Structure 1
Amino acid sequence: MAEPRQRRTPVDAPSKTPAVSYADAAAAAPVHDEVLAAQTADVLTLLLILRFCSALCVRTFFQPDEYFQALEPAWELAFGPISGAWLTWEWRQHLRTSLHPVLFAVAYAAADSLLRLMHCVGPLRAIILTHLPTVVQAVIAAVADFSVWRLAGHLYGRDSNATWTALWLCVLSPWQWYCGTRTFSNGLEAALTSAALVFWPWQLFAADSTSAESLFDSSTAYNTVGRVGPVGRLRLSLLLAAFAVVLRPTNLLIWAALLTVAVTRLTLDSSSSSSSSSSPLRPSFVARLAVEIAACGSLVLAVSAVSDRLFYGVWTLPAYTFLDVNLAQDVAVFYGRNPWHYYLSQGLPLLTMASLPWALTAVYAALTSSSSPSSSFSSNARRALAFSVVTTVAVLSLVAHKEVRFLYPLLPVLNVLAAPQVASFFTATLPSTSSASKAPPSATSLRHKRLLSVGLVLQAVVAVYLSFFHQPAPLSVLSFLRHEYERIHHNWLELTAAELPYFDVYPDYSFLHQSSIPSILASGGGGDELFALFLLPCHSTPWRSHLVYPGLRARALTCEPPLHTAPRSAERAAYLDEADRFYAALGRHDPAARNAFFVEELWPRFPWSSDAEATEGTTTWMHNGEIPRYIVGFEGIEDVLVGYFASDDPATGGADLGISLRRVWTGWNGFFNEDWRRRGSLIVWDTGVYSNASHPDTL
C-alpha cells in the first residue's frame, strides 16, 4: 500500500532534483491527469474522424468475404429469412460464428427502427443502410489504431518518439486505410487482438520470475481504486483474446506463442548479470494462470455457443467445423493455392508497405539482440511479440490457401515493433542549447526528409488509387440497379419483405425447371420478376446489403465447393462450379459448344407439341428459365451474348427468346485486374422484353 502523502521533513535524504513539496505535487497531479485524459480523448477523436473519412472515401470492391461472411447473414438476422439475403455454403455448413454478423445485425435493426419511426423510407433509407456497416467498422478500426498507441506507450513510454511513431504508422498505413473500414472478420480480429494486448499483463515478461509472479499478489492484484487491478486487466485481456479466437480460430497462434514465452521464459533476458536467461515460473503460478485462461475462455465459448444455437437452430461448434472442412477435408484450396513463401514475398510487403524494412529488422533484432538489465522488460516484451509474428507466419505458411488479410492481426504488432526503428531512422535527438533549469534536456528533429517524403507520397498514391480507381464498378453497378428499381417499382419501396408477393429469393438455388416463361409472356414485371441476372465470376459484387429492397430479385452464378468429393480425388480435381462452367464454355471456339451453358443451364430447351403438331409429327422447342430485365457482365462476354441471342439455330440459338440487348450502363473498373474474367468495363444490358423499361410503371 502507498504511504499517505505528507510534507517532507529535513531528515529526508537529499535529492539531486529541486525540492518539491508533496503538497505542491498533490496539487499538480490532478492537472497532469487532466492533461493526459484530454490527450487521450483528442487522439481517439482524431482517429475516429480519420476512419470515418476512410469509410466515406473507400468506394471500391476488394474481396467478397467483406459482404458474404458478415453483411448477408446480418441482413437476414435483422430483416428476416425472406428479405433476400444470400447465405453462402459456409453458413449452411455452420463454418462461421454468428458473433460477427450479430454486431451488424444490431446496427441494421436499430437504424431501421429509427428510420421508420422518422418515416424515412425509400431511397434515403437505402443509402443509410448501405453505408451503415462501414461506419460501424470505422469505429472498430479507430479502436485498433488507438490500442496500438496505448500498447506502444506501455512498452516505450507514453511520450516517447517510438510511441507516437507507432501511431503514425497506423495512420499512414495504406492497408489500414484500404481495409480498416471493410467489414472483414479479420478487421475485428485485429482490433480485438490489439485491445487484448493493451490489457495483457506484460509483467509476465519481467526480467526476474519474482516480479512476473507478483501478478496475483494479494496486495496489488485487486486494487480497483480508480483503476482495474492486474488480475482484472488479465481477465479483460483474456476475454478479448477469446473473442478473437472464436471469431478466427487461427488467432490462437498469437496467444499460444505469447503464453509459451511467458510460461517457459525461454530466451528472456534476466536482470542478473550472471545469468543469460530468466528462471521458469513456479508450477502453482502457472496453474493459477491456467485457471484464469480456462474460466475466461469457457465464458466466451458459452456466449458463442448460445448465439450460434439461436442463429443456426442447432447446437454447433463453428471453430471445429471450420478447421475440419478447410484443413482436414482440404476444401480451402478450392478457392486458391499459393506457394509456401507467399506471406514472405507478397503478404508482409502488402501488409506493411513502406515500413517493411523496419518491421523485418525489428523482428530480427527483438529475437537476437541482448539487453541491459535496465531495459530487459521492454526487450523481453518485444521478443515475445516477435516470436508471435514468426510463429503465426510460419504456421499459416503450411496451409495451401493463403490471403494477405489472414495476417491482418499481425499489423498492430508489426507497427509496435517497427516504431523504434522508424523513429531512430527518421528522427535525431539534439542537445538543448538553453541553460534554463526548466528547459527540456533535448529536442527532436527530422532527418532523411527526402526519403520520408517519397515514402509518404507513394503510400498516398497507393491509398488513393485503391480507394477510388481499383474495381469501383462492382459497387456502382448495384447503385444503378437499385436506382432503376426505385424508378420502375416506386410504389414498392416502403413494403417489407413480408408484404411482398412470395418468391424464392435465394440466388444460390437454381431456378431451372421451376418456371416455363416464354419470351412472349414477359410483360411489365411484377412480384416474381427477375430484375437482374449477374453473369460474373462468383461473388463479384455485394448482394442484399447494397440491393436493399427485398423485391429486387436477382440471380448470380454460384461457386459451391465439392463437399461431396474426397480430398485429392480425381472427382474433385475435375469438378467445375457453375461460374467455372460458364467461363469454360465461353472459351470454346465452336459456337454450339460456346452456347452450351445457355442452352443447358440458363435457358434449357425442351420439346413441346400441340395436338395438331403431334398429329403432323412436328415438334416445337421451348425454353425453361426466367428472362431477366437486366443482364450484368464484364465486356468480355458481350460478343458471346449477342451471338447467342441473335442465333436462330433450333438446337443452340436463343433468337426465339426475343431478347435484344441494349447497353444502359457502363462502369469503368480500373486500369488492370489480376483475374482475366474481370478485365474491362462492367456493363448492364437491358433485355428489352419488359414493356416499362423506359418509364415508371403504374402498379
Structure 2
Amino acid sequence: MSVTSIKKSFVFLRAIIIIRLINAFWVTTFFQPDEYFQALEPAWGLAFGARSGAWLTWEWRHQLRSSLHPVILSAAYLVADYGTRYLPIGSTAKTAVIVGAPRFVQAIIAALGDFFTWKLAMKIYPDSNDSSFALFLQLFSAWQWYCSIRTFSNSLETTLTITALYYFPWQDLLGVARTIKENPKMANSIDQRPRALRLSIICAAFAVLLRPTNVLIWATIIFVSVTRLCLKGPSPLTLAKVVVLLREAVLCGTVVLGVSLISDRLYFGFWTFPPYNWLYFNISKSLAVFYGRNPWHYYILQGIPLLSTTSLPFVLMTLYKPSASTEERYNILRTMTLAVGVTITALSLISHKEVRFIYPLLPMLNILAAPLAARFFTIPPPTTSQPPRLKNKMWLYLAVGINVLLAGYLSLVHQRAPLEIVSHLRKSYQESPAAQKDDLHVLFLMPCHSTPWRSHLAHDSMNAYALTCEPPLHTAPDTPERDLYRDEADRFYDDPIKFLSTELFAGEGRSPLPRYIAGFEGIEPWLHEFFDSTPTGRNLGVTVKPVWSAFNGFFNEDWRRAGRMVIWETTPVERHADL
C-alpha cells in the first residue's frame, strides 16, 4: 500500500470516528434491554465486583453468553474509573464519565465497521465511485446511526464480520487466472499473504463465539469457496490451497477458542463453553418462544426493510441480480447474496426473531446496493480525474431526509424516558440525606428490564428493586405448566391490587416501603387504590404523589409501556414533601 493510500485511509478513519463519537452521545434513547443486561451489567460487575449490585440475568447464571464482550466493556469502566480519580471534577461528572465510557468504546468499534465496509468496497469496485456510495449508504443508514453505537453483542459482531470479510482471500473465489495481474488490489492470496487470512479467521471466529448464528454466514462463504456453486469461471481449489485453508483455520481457531475458554474460566470460575450451553438450552428447553413468536416472513417483510430503509429498492434488485461488470466481481457479490439468503432462510425457521439478529448483513447489503445507487444518483464523469455529477437530486435529498428524520426521532425522542429516569434517580440519591441512604430508594413497577440498571444507576449502595421476568426453566416444553406460567411482571399486570397486597407488601418476604415508585403513568390509579383503599396499603401509612415525569415518545407497541414515565414519592399521609 502506498503512502498516499495510507494517508487517505487514515483521514477517512479519523473522520468516521469523529462521526460515530458524535453519534454515540447524540443517541439518548432506549431501544432493547439486551444493550444493558447482556453487556453492561456483567461488565459492571466484572469491573466493580460482586457487591456492586449488577443485575445478572438467567443467561449469565447458566453460562449462555460469552464473557468476551463484557471483558472489553469492563476495561472501559476501569480506565474511566481510574482516570477520573486524577481529574479535578466533582462526583457527578465522574459518574457521568464512567457511565458513558462503554459508549466511547462502542463508537470506535462502530467506526471500524464503517471503515472496513468502505475498504472492502474499494477492493470490489476499485475503478468507480461505487465504494464511496457504499460508505454513503453506511453512514446515512438510519439503522446504523440508531444501533451501531449501542453496546449490543450484535454491534460488535457486525464489525468483526465486515472486518473478516475485508481480509478474506476473495481471489480464491474468482477462479480466473488474470485477476491478480489486472487488479493488484485483489491480490491477497492465501499463498502470498497468510497474515490476511489469519486476521479474517480470527475475526470470524470471535464473531461466531459472540453470536453462534454468525456461523451461517461463514459456512455459506466457505461452502461456495470450495464447491464454486453458482459462480462463473469455475476453477476448483488446488489441494495446496485447501491444505493452507485447513491449517490456518485450525491454528487460528484454536487460538481464539483458547482465549475464549480462558476468559470464560476466569469470569465464571469454572470451565464452560457458552456456545454449547446456548445450543443446549434452545433445543432442550425451547425458551426462545418465551420472548415472543414472529411469523416466518418477519425478516423478509420487516427485517430487511427496517435494516435497509431508503436503500431497500437497490438491495432487492441486487439480491435478485448482482450488478457486476466482470466475472471476478460477480463471484464476490454472488457469494455475498448467497450468504444473505442462507442466513435469512435459516433464521426465519426460529420462532423468536429480531431485526438486530440480521444486523451483520447490513454492511454486505450496502456494498451490494452501492453500484445501483451510484448509477441512479450520479452520472459517470468523462475522465477519472473529475468527480461524478449528481442526478435525481430530489430523490437523493428525499432519501437522506427520511433517514435523518427517522434516525433523529429514534435517537432523540422515542423511548428517551428510561435513560432520563435513571439519571434523575441517580442524582436524587446523591442528594439524599445520609440517614435515608440505607432505605429502599426506588421500586420499579413496570415491565421488567424497562430501564437500564446498575450501569446507569451507578451507586452500588443505592437499594432498588424491579419486577422480574425469569423464564420457566423448571418446566418442560409444551406442557400446561409452561403454558400457564406467569412471571412476576405478568402477575402484577394481571391483577395489580392483588399482587401488591398479597405478594409485594405482604408476608415475611415483603418488600420494604420504597421512598420512590417508578412506573408508566397508567399504573397511577392502581397505586392510589392500593395505598388509599386496601387494608394492606392503608397499614403502610403513606400516600403517593407524582414528583417527576418524562415524555416517552408518541407510540409504543406494548400497552403496558404507554404514556409518560413517572416517579411517585411515598410520603406519610399527614405530610407531602417535594422531591
Give the TM-score of the pair, scaled to structure 2: 0.95
Aligned-partner Cα distance in 2 for 1:253–1:222 = 22
- 1:661 is paired with a residue whose SS is strand
1:561 to 1:210, Cα distance in 2 relative to 1, 3 A? farther
Aligned-partner Cα distance in 1 for 2:373–2:489 = 46
1:487 aligned partner: 431
2:197 aligned partner: 234
- 1:683 is paired with a residue whose SS is strand
Which 10-residue stretch deviates more, 406-415 or 123-132? 123-132
2:184 aligned partner: none
2:183 aligned partner: none
Give a deviation string over 1:192-224, Cα, whole Å, max 9, x none.
001111111011112348979xxxxxx99799x
Kept after mapping to 1: 8 A contact 2:39/2:151: yes
Aligned-partner Cα distance in 1 for 2:284–2:94 = 44
Shift of 1:692: 12
Aligned residue runs from structure 1 range 446-457, under 5 A: 446-457=390-401
Choose the corresponding residue for 2:78, options 87, 94, 109.
109
Give a deviation string over 1:295-333, Cα, whole Å, max 9, x none.
211111110001000100111110011122124421011
* % same residue: 48
1:627 aligned partner: 513
1:131 aligned partner: 100
Kept after mapping to 2: 8 A contact 1:205/1:262: yes
Larger radius of gyration: 1
Aligned-partner Cα distance in 1 for 2:87–2:402 = 45
Give a deviation string over 1:482-533, Cα, whole Å, max 9, x none.
11011114x6xxxxxxxxxxxxxxxxxxxxxxxxxxxxxxxx5243x11000
Matched, 1:601 2:484: no
1:691 to 1:153, Cα distance in 2 relative to 1, 3 A? farther
- 2:289 is paired with a residue whose SS is helix
2:251 aligned partner: 295
Choose the corresponding residue for 2:216, options 253, 272, 287.
253
Aligned-partner Cα distance in 1 for 2:574–2:112 = 52
Shift of 1:452: 1.2
Aligned residue runs from structure 1 range 294-333, under 5 A: 294-333=250-289
1:24 aligned partner: none
Kept after mapping to 2: 8 A contact 1:599/1:605: no
Kept after mapping to 1: 8 A contact 2:119/2:166: yes
Matched, 1:559 2:469: yes
Choose the corresponding residue for 2:532, options 646, 649, 657.
646
Matched, 1:671 2:554: yes
Amino acid aligned to 1:670:
G
Shift of 1:535: 0.3
Kept after mapping to 2: 8 A contact 1:209/1:280: no
Choose the corresponding residue for 1:362, options 315, 318, 330.
318
1:515 aligned partner: none
Aligned-partner Cα distance in 2 for 1:694–1:571 = 46
1:415 aligned partner: 366
Aligned-partner Cα distance in 1 for 2:193–2:572 = 70
Choose the corresponding residue for 1:403, options 339, 349, 354.
354
Aligned residue runs from structure 1 range 529-568, under 5 A: 529-568=439-478
Shift of 1:430: 4.4
1:280 aligned partner: 236
Aligned-partner Cα distance in 2 for 1:449–1:695 = 55
- Gap regions ≥5 residues in structure 2: 181-186
Shift of 1:284: 4.6
Which 10-residue stretch deviates more, 563-572 or 184-193? 563-572
2:379 aligned partner: 428
Aligned-partner Cα distance in 2 for 1:690–1:39 = 69
Kept after mapping to 1: 8 A contact 2:133/2:370: yes
Choose the corresponding residue for 1:444, options 373, 388, 391.
388
Kept after mapping to 2: 8 A contact 1:629/1:690: no
Matched, 1:269 2:179: no
Kept after mapping to 2: 8 A contact 1:115/1:121: no
Give a deviation string over 1:45-76, Cα, whole Å, max 9, x none.
11111111111110000000000000000001
Aligned-partner Cα distance in 2 for 1:692–1:596 = 27
- 2:549 is paired with a residue whose SS is strand
Choose the corresponding residue for 2:488, options 578, 600, 606.
578
- 2:52 is paired with a residue whose SS is coil
Aligned-partner Cα distance in 2 for 1:143–1:543 = 28
- 1:386 is paired with a residue whose SS is helix
- 1:539 is paired with a residue whose SS is coil
Amino acid aligned to 1:629:
R
Which 10-residue stretch deviates more, 291-300 or 258-267? 291-300
1:15 aligned partner: none
Shift of 1:279: 3.3
Kept after mapping to 2: 8 A contact 1:488/1:695: no
Aligned-partner Cα distance in 1 for 2:486–2:58 = 16
Aligned-partner Cα distance in 1 for 2:385–2:467 = 67
Amino acid aligned to 2:155:
G
Amino acid aligned to 1:244:
A
Matched, 1:350 2:294: no
- 1:337 is paired with a residue whose SS is coil
**Which structure dedicates a bigger proportion of its chain to helix?**
2
Aligned-partner Cα distance in 2 for 1:249–1:175 = 22
Amino acid aligned to 1:474:
P
Choose the corresponding residue for 2:541, options 658, 674, 681.
658
Shift of 1:289: 1.2
Aligned-partner Cα distance in 2 for 1:390–1:448 = 30
Aligned-partner Cα distance in 2 for 1:122–1:694 = 26
1:340 to 1:418, Cα distance in 2 relative to 1, 3 A? same
Aligned-partner Cα distance in 2 for 1:379–1:597 = 62
Shift of 1:691: 12
Aligned-partner Cα distance in 1 for 2:573–2:8 = 61
Kept after mapping to 2: 8 A contact 1:429/1:442: no
Choose the corresponding residue for 1:473, options 417, 422, 426.
417
- 1:625 is paired with a residue whose SS is coil
Aligned-partner Cα distance in 1 for 2:242–2:177 = 12
1:93 aligned partner: 62
Shift of 1:36: 2.0
1:427 to 1:211, Cα distance in 2 relative to 1, 3 A? closer
Amino acid aligned to 1:167:
L
Amino acid aligned to 2:153:
S
Kept after mapping to 2: 8 A contact 1:525/1:690: no
Shift of 1:121: 5.4
Shift of 1:130: 1.5
Kept after mapping to 1: 8 A contact 2:154/2:211: yes
Kept after mapping to 1: 8 A contact 2:429/2:437: no
Aligned-partner Cα distance in 1 for 2:235–2:415 = 55
Give a deviation string over 1:670-697, Cα, whole Å, max 9, x none.
111111000000000000159999599x
1:609 aligned partner: none
- Gap regions ≥5 residues in structure 1: 1-31, 213-218, 224-228, 271-277, 433-439, 492-523, 587-594, 607-622
Shift of 1:569: 1.5
Which 10-residue stretch deviates more, 294-303 or 97-106? 294-303
Shift of 1:479: 0.8
1:307 to 1:77, Cα distance in 2 relative to 1, 3 A? same
Shift of 1:444: 1.8
Alpha carbon RMSD of aligned pairs, Å?
2.3
Kept after mapping to 1: 8 A contact 2:444/2:517: yes
Matched, 1:525 2:436: yes
Aligned residue runs from structure 1 range 11-30, under 5 A: none
- How many correspondences in the alignment? 573
- 2:388 is paired with a residue whose SS is strand
Aligned-partner Cα distance in 2 for 1:131–1:693 = 35
1:538 to 1:445, Cα distance in 2 relative to 1, 3 A? same
Aligned-partner Cα distance in 1 for 2:236–2:568 = 70
Amino acid aligned to 1:326:
N
Aligned residue runs from structure 1 range 156-175, under 5 A: 156-157=125-126, 160-175=128-143
Kept after mapping to 2: 8 A contact 1:334/1:561: yes
Shift of 1:282: 3.3
Kept after mapping to 1: 8 A contact 2:169/2:188: no
1:442 to 1:530, Cα distance in 2 relative to 1, 3 A? closer
Aligned-partner Cα distance in 2 for 1:56–1:346 = 28
Give the TM-score of the pair, scaled to structure 1: 0.79
